[in-house]
Every structure is written in C-alpha cells, then in structure tokens.
Amino acid sequence: MALAGALLGAAALPASAQPAIASTAAAVAAPDVLDLDISGALAKLESGETTSVALVSEYLARMAAYDTAYGDQPGLNALITVNQEALAEAAELDSERAAGVIRGALHGVPIVVKDNYATADMPTSGGSASLATFQPDADSTAVERLRAAGAIIIAKSNMSEFSFSGKNSISSVRGAANNPYDQALTTGGSSGGVAASVAAAFSTAGVGTDTCGSLLGPSVHQSLVGFRPTMGLTSVSGVLPLSPRQDVSGPVGKSVTDTAILLQVLAGYDPADPLTVMADKQNGADYVAGLSDRALEGKRIAVANWDWSLFGPVAGSDEVIALYEQSVVDLEAQGAIIVDVPFSLAFAGSLPSGGMLDVRAGIDDFFASTPATWPAGLAELTAPADALTWSDIAADAKFSSTISPAVAAYITAQADIPNPAYDAAGAAWQSGRAAIDAYFADNDIDAIALPTSPNPATPDEASNPFCGLGAFTGIPTMTIPTGFTSAGLPAGLELAAPRSEDAELLAMGYDYEQATRHRAAPSTTPELAHPTPQPQPTETPAPAPGDTGSTTPSTASTSGDRLAATGVTGTGVWLSAGIAVLFAGAGSLALRRSRRQES
C-alpha cells in the first residue's frame, strides 16, 4: 500500500469530507514554516499571529506538494500515514487556547512520529506491508505524553522496515524515503522519514527511535539536531522494537532548544518500562532551563582520533572532515578545553551490548503485550493461530530490500530469551558500560567529540558509523550541524557525555549551535507561494419594513457564506495554499479513528 492517491487537490475533496472548523473573528494568513521550529511556533500561537489550524493547514499543504513526485523531483516519500483528524484537533486546541486553557509545553504544535510508535487513531506498520493495517487500541507512552502536552500528531513517518537499517529508510509499505537536500540521495535510517519530514517542514519537529544511529544518522544528513538520550531516560513502552537492549526514544528538531523541549515531555519514569527507573536521577526541568551560551566554558572535551579514510570515503568526505576539524576549533573558541586524552574509536567498538540477539523475542513480546486489531489472516499463517508473531511476518514475506531472506532467517532462528548466549552478552554489556563510565571519570572528561559521519550522504547510505558509542553503552549522544559541503550536503558534530548528563550535553550543544548557526533549510522544498489576502467586500442588507435604515455592515461576507456552505466556516484556512488531503479511497493509509480492520 502507498500514500499515492491520498494527497490530492482541494477540488477533489467533497464537501462532506471536509472537517468543520470552528469560526474565528478573522482569517489567519498561512505562516512561513520552512524554518519554523517549536519555539517559533509557540511564539506565534501565543501572540495570536497564527493558529494551530493555520499551522496544520500549511503543513498538510506541504505534504501534498512535496511528499510525492512533483516537477523533476521524485518526492520525499517521508510519510506513511497522515492524521485526517489533525485539523479538527487543531481547532479544538485553538478553542482551548482562546479560553485560557493550555495543556502543556506543546499546546497546538504539530509533531510527526515514526511509524513504530503505537497510535490508537492510526495504524502502526513498523514499515512493514504485512502490518499496514495493524491498529493498536492505545497510544504508546511517548505518544500519550506528547498528546498530554498538547501536541498534534500530524503524521506517521516512513522508516527502514522494522528499523533494521541505519543506512537508509526503505519500507515495504512506502518504499524509499528521499533526502530533501538532494532527492537522489537517501535520508539515512532508520528514522529517515522523521528527519525528512522535519527538514522539509511537514511538521515543527519529530520523534524517532534509535537502536544504533537511527536518530543521529538521519539528523546529521538533513542538517538537524538529533538526540539519543541516556538509555532508560525515555520510555519505549508501546514501541515496535528492533533490539530492546539498545532501543531508545528521542527527539529530532531544527534546534537544540526543540530537542530539549521534546525531551522534557518524553523523559520520566514509566511503570510499563522498568529501565526508566533511572529517569528519576535527572531533573527534567534542566533540559530547557539549563541551556546556556556559556556552557562550554571550562568543559574538558576529548577528541576522537582515527584514520577517517578507513570509513569508505566518497566525494566530499574531505570537506566533511574539514568541517569537523573546524568544529573542534569552534568548541575551543567557546571556552572548551581540548584535552590531551585522545579517544580511540577502537575503544568504542570493543563495548558490545549483546543487542540484536533479542530481535525476534522483542517483536513477539510487542505483539503479545499490545492490544490491537490484527491484519486479517496474518496470525493464521503459522502456529499458534491465535497469536501474532514474527514467524507470521516472515511467512507473509512482503519484505522490502531492507530485509533480505538471510536477515529474515537470522531473526527467525533466534532463541527464546533468556538463553546462555544472550546472558553472556549481557555480562559483556555491563562491562562495557562500566568501561565508558570509568573513561569519563578517570580522565575527568565532560564530553567526547567526533564527526557524526565522516562521509556525506549517497544514494545508498547516510549513516552514523560510530553509533556504538551511545548504543552499546547507554550514554547520551547528540549531533549538531557543522555546515555543508560544496555540493550542498550537510555535515555534523557528534558530542557524547557521561551517563545521565543529558542536560549538560544539551547545554554544550546549545552553546556550539548558538556560536555557529550552521543549519539551513533544503532548497528542493521551498516555502509554498500564497496569494496576498484581499479584503472581502461586505454586504449591507436591505432594510426590513419599519427599519430606520442602519448602515452597520453585516458580519457575514459573501466569502464567509461560501465557506459555510462547504462546511468550513470563518477562518477560510482549509489548506490555505488551495491543497487538501483526501482521506478516502482504496489504498489510502490514513484511516478514521472509528474505522477498524476486521481480523
């Protein structure tokens, strides 16, 4: 199933399918959103310069314009499901704001989430065509927290199937996600659809998952800030896993401030995820409040050293490394102390986690613990017929190129947990965690710096090859833009901090970001053109018999009457660029809340 056919012009949308939007005193012009982040959106909402309806309308218009083929571009293929209730939710949140009710830090802000997060109102495919109609009964903890903070989940994004690739985001449900900085190139994986959506302004920011490089890789190659938090700081309950021993949930944004805002919403103890007990060690209020443009002063930073050419250089790799070397100079200029305690990537590679031995068990546990309506006939493909398992997915065999027959067989053959090999790997994992903790403590190190990737994106790969530094040890890592190659491809700086020092890491990243400000939006998805709003003539009704002939104008204009006749009143912002999203027809993946796939 594909999204093609779900994004159509407004003229194709029947009036009966258009949501009724609560009227306001005046129409609100569509805002420019290409560089709009969470902070900017909140400022516009709080000042009354825009509304959530206007924001959602503009983002939906951009999805319609850029996610499928247009002009000489193939389109981003960044999305799997668009939330057809987004405008109605936005109208409700606007009404609450007008009444002085603010749910939380994201009130009325559109956010995109990766399609491995369970959502009660949209299917959760994990990038698998076999699961295109897998409909959970409840939201994952992360989505629940986003909604409680007032966020609008505007869409669910494309991803590498079952999060299995860190090189690209190819799914059997949507195909390959493309990079908005050059649509002939990949987004990276596995949260590539989230990053493409944020970079191309399909939403203010996004939330993805990371097993090894799945947040930082797509972020660096799309000039974004990606943050992999300390393992256990954010809940992964209700998330279709890849490897529970390494999986984390984390933010992707246009700025460090955005990632801090999202982390403050996502972080915290969750009884459904025992690992989050460690979240109580941190004060979530520090993530935003602790941001400072002087945070690098006196910080001791070890610089990774390696022969970067060993990582398969491509055109532009020398420029990426030059940008990294300049970033180290910039860190020092902000007051950081570059210490003579080199960090070898060989050390990071010697810290195994035992992850990827738990893929089958993790997926089976997700199906068993997630109440949902299953795709018709899927569970019956293998025994037991009354349980949905990985073996059913393997038997369905609808995989994309992300998962080869050998990979599918490898997952299928994995033993139940616990088992001796997995237990032994766990012991090695604990030793590795202790080793990295000792490295920071023994050398009095506040952070480690390295290039997020030594290579720019290619058609097949846009990765974070040093992902094991955070994934194998559970320490927090982040990427911040460092600029662009001469071909216009983004590069980034990766910073890693000691366990549970997430607030300090965000602050250091913020200091570097504010001093350098390297991010720039992609050119292939520019702002949409909007006609200049024209004043609408008013009508003076004919005096009624006995009327004294008052000249007070009517409060309803002819355009307002026309909008009312189509079920859209007052605001006139039903996709203000004249583009709508059609959530009907065979093959559409955007399903109404009330619609459930019968098993």
| Per-residue pLDDT tens over the stretch 418-452 | 999 899 888 888 888 898 999 999 999 999 999 99
**Does residue 295 form part of some domain?**
yes
The average pLDDT across 280-303 equals 96
**Does residue 174 form part of some domain?**
yes
**Burial (CB count <10 Å: 0-12, 13-18, 19+), residue 73:** middle
The predicted structure's pLDDT at residue 532: 59
Q: How far apart are the first and last CA of the chain?
A: 18
**Does residue 201 form part of some domain?**
yes
The average pLDDT across 500-522 equals 98
pLDDT tens track for 164-196: 999 999 999 999 999 999 999 999 999 999 999
What is the count of structural domains for the chain?
A: 1
**Does residue 591 form part of some domain?**
no
pLDDT tens track for 27-73: 677 789 999 999 999 999 999 999 999 999 999 999 999 999 999 99
pLDDT higher than 70, residue 535: no
pLDDT tens track for 337-391: 999 877 776 676 667 677 789 999 999 999 999 999 999 999 999 999 999 999 9
pLDDT tens track for 249-291: 999 999 999 999 999 999 999 999 999 999 999 999 999 999 9
Of 52, 57, 114, 156, which is the active-site residue? 114
Of 57, 140, 171, 190, which is the active-site residue? 190
Indicate if 172 belongs to the active site.
no
Indicate if 44 belongs to the active site.
no
pLDDT higher than 60, residue 407: yes
The average pLDDT across 226-238 equals 98
pLDDT higher than 50, residue 392: yes
The average pLDDT across 285-299 equals 97
**Does residue 371 form part of some domain?**
no
Cα–Cα distance for residue pair 532/542, rounded to 1 Å: 31
**Does residue 28 form part of some domain?**
no
The predicted structure's pLDDT at residue 381: 98
Q: Which residues contact 57 (CB under 8 A, 6 or more apart)?
A: 30, 87, 573, 574, 575, 576
Indicate if 114 belongs to the active site.
yes
pLDDT tens track for 100-138: 999 999 999 999 999 999 999 999 999 999 999 999 999
**Does residue 376 form part of some domain?**
no
From 193, 183, 264, select the one nearest 227 (Cα to Cα).
264
Instruction: Give the CA distances from residue 562 to residues 18, 554, 558, 559, in Å, rounded to whole numbers and listed in that order.
Output: 14, 15, 6, 5
The average pLDDT across 386-402 equals 97
pLDDT tens track for 453-493: 999 999 999 999 999 999 999 999 999 999 999 999 999 99
Q: What is the CATH number of the domain that holds 255?
A: 3.90.1300.10
Neighbours of 540 (CB within 10 A): 11
Residue 576, SS3 per DSSP: coil
Run of H or E residues at 325: helix 317-333
The average pLDDT across 288-304 equals 97
The predicted structure's pLDDT at residue 560: 27
pTM score: 0.86
Which comes out higher in pLDDT, residue 501 or 546? 501
The average pLDDT across 322-332 equals 97
Give the mean pLDDT of the chain.
85
Q: How far is C-alpha 240 from the geometric centre of its chain's CA atoms?
A: 15
Q: Which residues contact 305 (CB under 8 A, 6 or more apart)?
A: 342, 343, 344
**What domain range is 279 assigned to?**
76-86+102-354+425-516
Q: Give the total residue count for the chain.
A: 599
The letter for the amino acid at 521 is A
Of 214, 235, 243, 588, which is the active-site residue? 214
**Does residue 559 form part of some domain?**
no
pLDDT higher than 70, residue 593: no
Cα–Cα distance for residue pair 32/71, rounded to 1 Å: 22
